[in-house]
Amino acid sequence: MSAAITLTENAARRIREIVAKETDKTALRLAVNGGGCSGFSYEFELDDKSSEGDVVIERDGATLLIDSVSLVYVLGSEVDFVDDLMAAQFQVNNPNATASCGCGTSFSI
């Protein structure tokens, strides 16, 4: 099922950079929570290990973890890192989202 989520080269590079500075963390975790202006919100945090039921996506030495509950909402998505004039942030390009807020951190299905 991990092939259903892709990690871009930019996202993998940024995860490696962040984890290199955090000696007690080894991966970036993506979770979907209820809330936000569009119904659901993406949450990113550093983690030190995978948990039972996690899907582990690896690319170029970077690791992304997604719990089984959140996975349902992001199947088929691409996780990217964008650094532009507006912000430097991880973004989820989610084909399941029918609407999202202007900042890209919340969505609805």
**β-strand pairing of 27-34 with 6-7:** unpaired
The whole-number pLDDT of residue 107 equals: 46
> Model confidence over 14-71: pLDDT tens digits?
999 999 999 899 999 999 987 655 578 889 999 999 999 999 999 999 999 999 999 9
Cβ 42 vs Cβ 105: under 8 Å: yes
**Residue 7 pLDDT greater than 50, yes or no:** yes
- Note the CATH number of domain 2-104: 2.60.300.12
Sign (positive or negative) of CA dihedral 13, 16, 18, 20: negative
CA distances from 62 to 34, 70, 94 (A): 27, 20, 20
Q: What's residue 76's pLDDT?
A: 93
65 touches 43 (CB < 8 A): no
Q: What is the mean pLDDT of the chain?
A: 85
Residue type, 11: A
Residue 15 burial (10 A CB sphere; 0-12, 13-18, 19+): buried
